[in-house]
């Protein structure tokens, strides 16, 4: 723990870590905080799109596309961002770039200097060559673009889907959220575009120091400068695209094309306070010292061993604990069934696994055997700190169940994203924290609470593990949902994909159904508000329906004691608004199951979902009408919206102009929830 009393040391020596959102499975508890703060609405800026259909004459008349169409046909849809006067998305027939079944290119055509597998850098050089050939299309200087390795990936079971993202950097300072991207499937560019790229005219020399910026952030929290504070990010300069003066968020830009973004130089800082689980991120104007944004980034939610398959009302079953480290002469790692090669002598496991490390607040975890090498962590009754009497005070239900479920979802994700460094590292899971009714991801660890307050132990419910781990995967895949509503829908989608249960976290509150749910005792039931449910379907126009998700039961825009927190794209409380997107995903999964059968249908949903993680940022966008308005115009047309990205992920031939295997099913599910785009495309299967 570092303190700001030693700021001179902190500013120079502190390791700067990449912050991530701390998200919870239910709304965070509102606590009394000193001070008050009003967020700067200008940071909430999104593209305004003018859509030109494939072959539309208006698109052909755009001067910057004349050569592009001449070389690559007119079979491209163009979605122009009038704020930047640049294309937010171009998608269509496909442009051969890499060898794949969508074209006739060979490896020799790439003229690589090495004989190994294609790398991200190889593909980067190819897209940069494309940018150099058609500089008038995206209109950004090559020297302002830097490869974002966390947002670029190769995905899919056969590695056919590439995402390359080049972030804008102006005079050495990153422009937050501004990038150009290329999505390549089966060798062809099927989508490309520019997200918040604009001409930057800004002095990049700050007028206030990072120390002064931290003091301003702490002051906004009502925190004294000398309170113990852990520095996560000691301060980095960023350029933030913002709304033009006088413009309200979630409204359509009507000004001169190309004049819709202005820029602010700011310090970005991340820290935690002693005794406060929140991970605070502050954006402080580097010229004026004004605090522009302040947000709790936490994502809250909530060998063999006995585990709960779904929730703590299930009979406990004994399962092999996969990828567990065992000390037996050397360190050995169990296989997917919990097996390892015993070499005689003493074998010991502390459930500090290759991918998941368990840390239980009830005590230490350790089990040894010097006769057969079998390490049976056992089963027990009770909850919280109850153990089988072996394996240490930390051998609890939560530790055993958490290790099993978290390791399995990690290994599944790695089959789709094999080069992801987070998946190949070790994640710490903190169990039996002395608190109740929630759990959270704080950017580094997943954290689960004991029972009490009418709630079960959140470390004993599979969907809570999966939801919180999903927040981490969202952040560490490079996609990082840009709003809390999307982020919560990400967590819930991971949960139901694994459990195949629409009730997210059964028995979270024993005997108490979730709000407006029929029977689900979890935190949400995505089926109730879907095409299969009995309630009003969750969509932007019904967000406040009393027979639906009824999000106006919370204040809107949703804030917690003056701090902007947990808003969906429409401004409603994020967990509530997340129903719109997660229910659309549930409907899509059911449609795929109907078309292909249970096993193949869920596998098809997995394939679309995991491949979409890196490029997607928000489930949908507000086009006009402002926030907190069920009558607002909402769609999924932005380049990083789920509907748009799903089509690229689902493509099977490097050509989006002729449909995709499940394009019509994706459209049907998302149209039912009011977040699709354009006319219904063709399904090819």
**pLDDT given at position 461:** 95
For the purposes of burial, counting CB atoms within 10 Å of the CB of 169, is it exposed (0-12), middle (13-18) or buried (19 or more)?
middle
Instruction: Please give the model's pTM, rounded to 2 decimal places.
Output: 0.84
- Mean pLDDT across the chain, nearest whole number? 89
Q: Is the confidence at residue 4, as pLDDT, over 60? A: no
Looking only at the bridges linking them, the beta strands covering 633-635 and 621-624 are antiparallel
**pLDDT given at position 21:** 38
Dihedral angle sign, alpha carbons of residues 285, 31, 22, 528? negative
Task: State the Cα–Cα distance between residues 55 and 217, nearest whole angstrom.
Answer: 51
Does the bond joining 241 to the residue before it have cis omega, within 30 degrees of 0? no
Confidence of residue 15 (pLDDT cuts 50, 70, 90): very low
Digit-coded pLDDT (tens) for 409-437? 999 999 999 989 999 999 999 999 999 98
Task: State the Cα–Cα distance between residues 191 and 164, nearest whole angstrom.
Answer: 11
**pLDDT given at position 41:** 82
Mean pLDDT of all residues in 462-478: 94
Residues 6+ apart with CB under 8 A from 14: 2, 231, 234
**pLDDT given at position 302:** 29
Q: What is the number of other CB atoms lying within 10 angstroms of the CB of residue 249?
A: 16
Instruction: Give percent above pLDDT 70 in the chain.
Output: 90
Task: State the Cα–Cα distance between residues 83 and 549, nearest whole angstrom.
Answer: 33
Digit-coded pLDDT (tens) for 547-576? 999 999 999 998 765 655 679 999 999 999
Name the nearest CA neighbour of 550 among 580, 590, 506. Answer: 580
Confidence of residue 60 (pLDDT cuts 50, 70, 90): low
Got the DSSP string for 494-516? HHHHHH--SEESTTSSTT-PPTT
Q: Output phi, psi for 622, to 5 deg.
A: -90, 120
The structure tokens 């490869």 sit at 147
Angle between helices 642-650 and 574-596 (to 10 degrees): 30
Dihedral angle sign, alpha carbons of residues 538, 540, 541, 542? positive
**pLDDT given at position 559:** 79
Dihedral angle sign, alpha carbons of residues 362, 366, 369, 372? positive
Digit-coded pLDDT (tens) for 102-121? 999 999 999 888 888 899 99
First-to-final CA distance of the chain: 56
**pLDDT given at position 135:** 94
Hey, what are 259's tokens? 């004049």
Q: Output phi, psi for 272, to 5 deg.
A: -130, 145
Q: Is the confidence at residue 36, as pLDDT, over 80? A: no
Name which residue leads in pLDDT, 578 or 3: 578
Q: Where are the beta strands (DSSP E) in 297-408?
A: 298-300, 304-307, 317-320, 325-328, 330-333, 347-349, 356-360, 367-369
> Which contacts of 345-350 are long-range, i.e. CB under 8 A and separated by 24 or more positions?
345/370, 346/370, 347/373, 347/375, 348/375, 349/303, 349/324, 349/325, 349/375, 350/325
Q: Strand, helix or coil at 127? A: helix
**pLDDT given at position 20:** 35
Q: Strand, helix or coil at 621? A: strand
Q: What is the number of other CB atoms lying within 10 angstroms of the CB of residue 32?
A: 6
Task: State the Cα–Cα distance between residues 323 and 335, nearest whole angstrom.
Answer: 6
Task: State the Cα–Cα distance between residues 214 and 217, nearest whole angstrom.
Answer: 5
**pLDDT given at position 23:** 64
- For residue 575, give the H/E element and its range: helix 574-596
Per-residue burial over 411-431, b if 16 or more Cβ lie within 10 Å, else e, is eebeebbeebebbeeebebbb
Hey, what are 356's tokens? 């998941």
Contact 299, 480 (CB under 8 A): no
Digit-coded pLDDT (tens) for 521-532? 999 999 999 999
Confidence of residue 10 (pLDDT cuts 50, 70, 90): very low
Digit-coded pLDDT (tens) for 590-626? 999 999 999 999 999 999 999 999 999 999 999 999 9
Residues 6+ apart with CB under 8 A from 231: 2, 10, 14, 270, 271
Mean pLDDT of all residues in 281-295: 91
Residues 6+ apart with CB under 8 A from 330: none
* Helical H segments across 74-166, by residue range: 107-110, 120-133, 135-138
Mean pLDDT of all residues in 488-495: 96
Mean pLDDT of all residues in 324-346: 88
**pLDDT given at position 16:** 29
Residues 6+ apart with CB under 8 A from 567: 483, 484, 485, 557, 558, 573, 574, 577, 627
For the purposes of burial, counting CB atoms within 10 Å of the CB of 393, is it exposed (0-12), middle (13-18) or buried (19 or more)?
middle
Contact 272, 296 (CB under 8 A): no
**pLDDT given at position 310:** 83
Hey, what are 122's tokens? 């190889």
């Amino acid at each position: 723990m570092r303190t700001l009393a030693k700021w001179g040391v902190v500013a120079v020596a502190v390791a700067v870590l990449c912050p991530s959102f701390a998200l919870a499975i239910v709304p965070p508890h509102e606590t009394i905080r000193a001070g008050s703060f009003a967020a700067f609405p200008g940071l909430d800026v999104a593209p305004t799109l003018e859509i030109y259909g494939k072959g539309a004459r208006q698109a052909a008349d755009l001067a910057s596309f004349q050569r592009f169409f001449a070389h690559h046909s007119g079979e491209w849809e163009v979605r122009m961002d009038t704020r930047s006067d640049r294309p937010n998305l171009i998608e269509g027939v496909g442009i051969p770039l890499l060898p794949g079944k969508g074209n006739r290119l060979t490896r020799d055509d790439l003229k690589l200097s090495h004989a190994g597998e294609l790398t991200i850098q190889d593909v980067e050089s190819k897209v940069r060559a494309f940018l150099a050939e058609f500089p008038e299309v995206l209109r950004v200087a090559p020297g302002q673009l830097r490869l974002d390795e966390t947002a670029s990936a190769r995905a899919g079971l056969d590695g056919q889907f590439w995402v390359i993202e080049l972030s804008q950097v102006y005079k050495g300072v990153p422009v937050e959220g501004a990038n150009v991207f290329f999505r390549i499937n089966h060798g062809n560019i099927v989508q490309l575009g520019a997200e918040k790229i604009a001409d930057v005219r800004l002095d990049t020399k700050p007028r206030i120091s990072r120390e002064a910026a931290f003091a301003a952030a702490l002051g906004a929290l009502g925190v004294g400068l000398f309170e113990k504070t852990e520095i996560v990010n000691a301060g980095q300069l960023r350029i933030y695209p913002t709304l033009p003066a006088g413009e309200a968020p979630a409204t359509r830009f009507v000004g001169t094309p190309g004049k819709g973004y202005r820029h602010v130089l700011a310090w970005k800082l991340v820290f935690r306070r002693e005794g406060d689980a929140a991970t605070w991120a502050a954006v402080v104007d580097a010229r004026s010292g004004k605090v522009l944004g302040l947000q709790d980034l936490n994502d809250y939610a909530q060998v063999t061993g006995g585990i709960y398959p779904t929730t703590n009302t299930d009979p406990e079953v004994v399962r092999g604990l996969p990828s567990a480290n065992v000390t037996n002469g050397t360190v050995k790692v169990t296989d997917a069934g919990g097996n390892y090669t015993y070499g005689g002598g003493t074998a010991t496991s502390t459930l500090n696994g290759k991918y998941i490390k368990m840390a239980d607040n009830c005590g230490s975890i350790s089990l040894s055997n010097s006769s057969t090498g079998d390490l049976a962590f056992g089963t027990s009754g009770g909850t919280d700190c109850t153990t089988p009497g072996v394996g240490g005070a930390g051998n609890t239900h939560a530790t055993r169940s958490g290790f099993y479920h978290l390791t399995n979802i990690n290994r599944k994700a790695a089959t789709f994203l094999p080069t992801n460094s987070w998946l190949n590292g070790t994640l710490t899971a903190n169990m039996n924290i002395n608190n109740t009714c929630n759990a959270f991801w704080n950017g580094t660890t997943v954290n689960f609470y004991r029972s009490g307050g009418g709630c079960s132990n959140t470390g004993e419910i599979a969907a809570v593990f999966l939801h919180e781990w999903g927040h981490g995967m969202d952040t560490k895949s490079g996609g990082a949902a840009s709003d809390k509503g999307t982020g919560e829908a990400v967590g819930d989608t991971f949960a139901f994909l694994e459990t195949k249960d629409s009730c997210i976290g059964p028995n979270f509150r024993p005997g108490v159904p979730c709000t407006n749910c029929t029977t689900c005792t979890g935190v949400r039931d995505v089926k109730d508000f879907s095409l299969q449910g009995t309630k009003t379907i969750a969509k932007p126009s019904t967000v406040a329906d009393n027979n639906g998700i009824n999000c106006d039961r919370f204040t809107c825009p949703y804030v917690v004691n003056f701090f902007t927190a947990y808003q969906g794209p429409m401004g409603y409380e994020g967990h509530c608004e997340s129903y719109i997107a997660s229910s659309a995903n549930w409907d899509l999964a059911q449609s795929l199951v109907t078309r292909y059968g249970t096993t193949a249908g869920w596998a098809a949903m997995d394939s679309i979902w995991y491949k979409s993680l890196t490029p997607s940022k928000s489930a949908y966008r507000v086009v006009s009408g402002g926030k907190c308005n069920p009558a607002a115009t909402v769609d999924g047309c932005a380049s990083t919206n789920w509907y748009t990205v799903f089509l690229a992920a689902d493509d099977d031939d490097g050509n989006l102009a002729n449909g995709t295997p499940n394009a019509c099913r994706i459209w049907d599910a998302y149209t039912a929830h009011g977040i699709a785009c354009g006319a219904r495309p063709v399904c090819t299967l």
